[in-house]
Structure 1
Amino acid sequence: MTTTPIVTPLRTGRSLVTDTEFDTLAAFCADEYGLERTVADRIVDQALALVFVMGSTGEGTSMAPSELVDPGWHTLILHTGWYADWCQRQFGYFLHHQPNSKVRTRGLMTDVVARIRAVGFEVDERLWGTAADCNPPTCCGDGPCC
Structure 2
Amino acid sequence: MTIAMERPVSATDPLTLVDPEVTDRLARRITIDHPTIDEATARRIVGQAAAFIAASGQQPGQSLAPSMLVDFGWHAFILHTADYADFCQRVVGRFVHHVPTDEDEELPGGAKETRERTLTAIRAAGYTVDAELWGASAECSQCHSGCHDSPKKG
Structures share fold, TM-score greater than 0.5: yes
1:90 positional shift: 1.8
Q: Answer yes or no: is the 8 Å Cα contact 2:12–2:126 preserved in 1.
A: yes
Change in CA separation of 1:5 and 1:110 when aligned onto 2, cut-off 3 Å: closer
Aligned to 1:52: 54
In the TM superposition, residue 6 of structure 1 has moved relative to its aligned partner by 3.7
Residue 97 of structure 1: aligned partner: 98
Q: Shift in Å at residue 87 of structure 1? A: 1.1
| Matched residue, 2:11 | 10
Quote the offset at 1:17 in angstroms.
Answer: 1.6
User: How many aligned residue pairs are there?
Assistant: 131
Three-state SS of the structure 2 residue aligned to 1:122 is coil
Q: Percent identity at matched positions?
A: 36
TM-score, length-scaled by structure 2: 0.73
Q: Which runs of 5+ in 1 are unaligned?
A: 130-140
From 31, 37, 40, the equivalent of 2:39 is: 37
Q: What TM-score does the superposition give when structure 1 sets the normalisation length?
A: 0.77
Q: Tell me: CA distance 1:117–1:101, structure 2 relative to 1, closer, same or farther (3 Å).
A: farther
- Using the alignment, how far apart are the partners of 2:79 and 2:118 within structure 1? 23
Structure 2 matches for 1:1-146, cutoff 5 A? Answer: 6-34=7-35, 35-59=37-61, 62-100=63-101, 103=106, 105-129=111-135, 141-142=136-137
1:56 deviation in Å? 2.8
Relative distance call for 1:18 and 1:47 in structure 2 (3 A) is: same
Q: Is the helix fraction higher in 1 or 2?
A: 1
User: Which structure carries more relative contact order (alpha carbon 8 Å, separation 6+)?
Assistant: 2
Gaps of at least 5 residues in structure 2 are 139-154
